[in-house]
With several copies, the nearest count.
Chain A
Amino acid sequence: MTKKRELIELDDVVIRFSGDSGDGMQLTGTLFSNTAALLGNDIATFPDYPAEIRAPQGTVGGVSGFQVHIGHSDIRTPGDLADVLVAMNPAALKANARWLKPGATIIYDRDNFTPKNIQKAGYKEDPIAEDRLQDFNIIPAPITSLTKEALKDMGLDMKTVLRSKNMFALGMIYWLFNRPLKYTEEFFQQKFKRKPEVVEANEKVLKAGYYYAETIEALHSTYVVKPAKIEKGVYRNINGNTATAWGLIAAAERAGLQLFVGSYPITPATGILEELALRKDLGVITVQAEDEIAGITTSIGASFAGLMAATTTSGPGLALKSEALGLAVITELPLVVVDVQRGGPSTGLPTKTEQSDLMQVLWGRNGESPVAVVAASTPANCFYYAFEAGRLALEHMTPVVLMTDGFLANGTEPFRVPDIEKMPEIKPPIVPEGTEDYMPYKRDPGTLVRGWAIPGTPGLEHRIGGLEKDENTGNVSYDPANHEKMTHIRAEKVAKIVEDIPEQKIEGEQEGDLLLVGWGSTYGHLVSAMEELKAEGKKVGLAHFNYINPLPANTDEVLGKFKKILVCELNLGQFANYLRMNYPKYEYHKLNKIQGLPFTVVEIKDEAKKLLEE
């Protein structure tokens, strides 16, 4: 960004809103991204907030941030470094200084840069100097005092007044990026329908910020980011949790079944349950159970009763569900388990993102207990992989674990609304009334899938349970040979799903020097890195996995097409280990990060280049 006072066109821009947990930064960021999205930009967002509801004011630990990346071409990540930072206090500056592009614009609330606050943030004296930001485009705005000024005649209490400071900042950003205020105003009008004074106050402050930015000298230019060149269609902004919830509902609709979700709140998965609880209009039954075990076991009960059943959680909750998940495995009931991963071990970093539950998902159960596993890779495609998890569960009569994580759960991007009627119809193997010689464990010889006889159907009364069962009859069996056979059947049934999933595709070069490998939420960063490397002339491809168990049929082939393989993941190398276990003949280089944060594109590129040069 240069310093001319004119209208400048940008390909993309990264803005970071940052302040105390109480400063409303999440809302500010969301409103900005919604406006950008409605104007046709491609966007990606990343909220990052502390584990406390209200962490101590003014400290770095209490900073809440919301990063949004908008552009007119494919936006895949929320961006590594910011072009514009809004810092509501010194701590916000401190926390974000190292995440800025050289020469970025920094707007801060100078009213809050008091000696006391500066010290609280851990600075000695002059924050700008200490962080060597002198060459940046610094805009010290009196946000607090001008907000007070704007509202002085409204007779509001000071708490309410201060609470609308964030709208002042938002107004400034709207001016800076040439955005209309109307979508945000409409939001106020709808949200505070019954509190006209709140609507008025917010609008006043928003405008005050907008006009202030127009007036002052400090802003040398305004910018436009043209609408993205994206596929035609109806779009909406969506985060991963909502997309997951909707994908489950869509699967139930396409299966002609009611959706049942037994769950227990846990960060960062709670949003799925909250969204589903809203969807009573679509017949969704949500049971907020007494704990995670009841969450999954009520769902298993509902599955037995013939509904499409799911349960949602994060790592510690999944640990608690392990025993019951084994019950779903041996009873061969359809069940979707959503694991929104977060930083571990134990309570770990509950609001941060990580990919460290893979091993737990694959094997965290007693006995030989195979489940199918899929992973979403962007906020919006959580919709499709939730749908897919539902499809596989219902059609293959098996528990399926859908893995997402905190980054996907809270991140947003535009979502091209699909035509539901064109999505595959889901056909669970429901046993019709009147079936002769029904046996609960009789299987389709091709898929090894057993039939699903729904309680209430006359003539199909049967019993299932957690003890080993006789082939076909499903009666309890202690026969050694039968146990071995059933163990193989259960494994093979899940393995056979490979015939029902797409081949693994390679993006970028189809063969060459380096294959980047990833899975889950790292997609945006990996594909950006791959594209940039390709643009630099490197022979680099990307194999990003959404199907984890079984792995796609051509995985071996894909891995064999490159001289080197770099597996990038937000853990200590679990997927790399898993690949090694399955395809030991390749050497797997690893890029691991375990900081509760997504990769940056640069980190990936650097590591890739190092490998290419070796």
Chain B
Amino acid sequence: MSTEENKVVYTAKDFKSDQEVRWCPGCGDHAILSSVQRTMAQLGIRREKYAVISGIGCSSRFPYYMATYGFHGIHGRAAAISTGVKTANPDLSVWTITGDGDALAIGGNHLIHVVRRNVDINLLLFNNRIYGLTKGQYSPTSVKGQVTKTSPYGTVEPPFNPGELVIGAKGKFFARTIDGDIKLSVEVFTEAAKHEGTSVVEILQNCVIYNNGAYADITDREHKEDRQIVLRDGEPMIFGKNRDKGLMLDGMQLKVVKIGENGITEKDILVHDSKVNNPGLHMMLVNMKWPSHPVAVGVIRNVAAPTYDTAVHVQIDKIKEQSPIKNMTDLLHSGNTWVVK
């Protein structure tokens, strides 16, 4: 969305609805709500142009808490409803709110298709690796072996990696952030909003009730700098509390190296480029897992491509111009007709 006409000055408060927020105390969703409200306040888009669309799940209650236009859909269909909204009116800034169950279980098909078509929406995937609203069953991102209410002896299926799936579906924008990291989230959401096309943002979200600590190993204060790497365009892939670790390419593999050791200097470290179309490196970056690698956050992939909603309207405008049929009356009288007198 790039509708920046009629700039107005907002604060995050302007995006808060009058409805009481009903998530559990301590749920990661609270922080995400706050990040989204801050982002929207800064984008310079008028409030009435925002449409926030969701499916069903704890996360999908989101629209009720926003003072924008909002639609709480049905389970799994957030991306499809959003496709309708955006294609109907490309002038709206459409934000799709969905969970790991909503987007990747029942809604998996709509997700891969919205990504393939490259509809210009911003899709925030709240990944808590559990079904929150239905009280704790495993989801397609639950780690293998996870014990949940429907896997009392541990799951036997490997999880999706949302970024990998999105890139496999021809995704042009993928970013990752963490619920509690409001600064990073605002940065990433802003980039998502600026990107024209489907921007998928995976948010590592903690469900305090049914999957508490799912990301503790990489988010706890003590270790996060050593276990996360924030990717920013043009910057070398360096991380660590002492910023002494970096990523290099070793054949077809990403390798963690120590700067200063074995003659490695900052210059040897890969520099992030989210804009290359070739998905090879982006795929490796989304696939990095701790402990072998740091987990990548930030905007991992951000490639320009035509959007579906624009293409649909461009085609309509072109045909409209070319066709002699301008209204229903023309159509009714076109082709083979005869007159009875």
Interface residues of A (CB under 8 A from B): 34, 37-40, 52-57, 59, 62, 183, 227, 230-237, 246, 249-250, 253, 258, 260, 262, 264-267, 270, 273-274, 277-294, 297-307, 309, 316, 323-324, 327, 331, 346-347, 416-421, 455-467, 475-476
Contacts and interface: CB of A to CB of B under 8 A. Distances in A.
Interface in B58-89: 58, 61, 63-64, 66-77, 80-89
Given A235-B337, A288-B138, A293-B80, A420 B315 contact: no
B109 interface: yes
A129 to B, nearest CB: 27
B323 interface: yes
Contacts of B325: 281-282
B150 A288 contact: yes
B87 A298 contact: yes
Contact of B340 (A235, A262, A421, A475): A235
Nearest to A283: B316
B127 interface: no
A282 B328 contact: yes
A173 B315 CA distance: 43
21 contacts: A59-B20, A235-B338, A235-B340, A236-B335, A274-B152, A281-B323, A283-B320, A290-B140, A292-B106, A300-B73, A301-B71, A302-B85, A305-B84, A306-B89, A420-B329, A420-B332, A456-B92, A462-B70, A463-B69, A466-B72, A466-B73
A221 to B, nearest CB: 27
Of A56, A260, A282, A307, the most chain B CB neighbours within 10 A belong to A282
A302 B110 CA distance: 16
A327 B312 contact: no
Nearest to A459: B48
A227 B329 CA distance: 25
A327 B328 contact: no
Contacts of B170: none
Given A56-B22, A290-B108, A291-B76, A277 B150 contact: yes
A290 B67 CA distance: 31
Given A421-B329, A455-B89, A463-B66, 19 more contacts: A235-B339, A249-B328, A265-B134, A280-B316, A281-B326, A285-B316, A293-B77, A293-B80, A294-B80, A294-B83, A298-B81, A327-B74, A418-B332, A456-B91, A461-B48, A463-B17, A463-B19, A463-B64, A464-B70
Interface stretch (B49-57, B218-226, B242-250, B262-270): B49-57
A437 to B, nearest CB: 14
B149 interface: yes
Interface in B227-268: none
Contacts of A280: 153, 315-316, 319-320, 323
Given A232-B340, A277-B151, A461 B68 contact: yes
Contacts of A291: 76, 105-106, 109
A290 to B, nearest CB: 4
Nearest to B339: A234
A249 B331 contact: yes
B22 to A, nearest CB: 5
A279 to B, nearest CB: 7
B113 interface: yes
B137 A301 contact: no
B135 interface: yes
A476 B338 CA distance: 44
Contacts of B278: none
B87 A38 contact: no
Contacts of A463: 17, 19, 63-64, 66, 69-72
Contacts of A284: 316
A39 to B, nearest CB: 8
Given A282-B325, A304-B71, A466 B88 contact: no
A264 B149 CA distance: 12
B24 interface: yes
Contacts of A230: 340
Contact of A260 (B88, B113, B152, B340): B88
Interface of B: 17, 19-25, 46-49, 51, 53, 56, 58, 61, 63-64, 66-77, 80-89, 91-92, 105-106, 108-110, 113, 131-135, 137-138, 140, 149-153, 209, 312, 315-316, 319-320, 322-323, 325-329, 331-333, 335-341
Nearest to A320: B106
Contacts of A34: 336
Contacts of B82: 301
A88 to B, nearest CB: 17
Given A294-B110, A417-B332, A456-B48, A301 B83 contact: yes
A230 B341 CA distance: 9
A241 to B, nearest CB: 12
Contact of B48 (A231, A250, A457): A457
B22 A52 contact: yes
Kindly list the 9 A-B residue pairs having the minimum CB-CB distance in the complex, ordered from nearest.
A301-B84, A465-B72, A281-B323, A298-B84, A463-B70, A302-B88, A291-B106, A280-B319, A54-B24
A475 B49 CA distance: 21
Contacts of A253: 327-328
A295 to B, nearest CB: 9
B48 A458 contact: yes
Contact of B88 (A231, A246, A285): A285
A305 B51 contact: yes
Contacts of B49: 455-456
Contacts of A316: 74-75
B113 A294 contact: yes
B25 to A, nearest CB: 7
A281 B319 contact: yes
B63 A40 contact: no
A297 B56 CA distance: 14
A37 B338 CA distance: 8
B137 A288 contact: yes
Nearest to B85: A301
A253 B87 CA distance: 19
Given A299-B84, A305-B88, A347-B74, A274 B336 contact: no
Given A264-B106, A288-B138, A302 B84 contact: yes
Given A234-B337, A304-B85, A418-B332, A274 B71 contact: no
A265 B72 CA distance: 19
A232 B340 CA distance: 5
Given A270-B137, A461-B47, A279 B87 contact: no
Given A420-B329, A455-B69, A463-B63, A301 B209 contact: no
Contacts of A59: 20
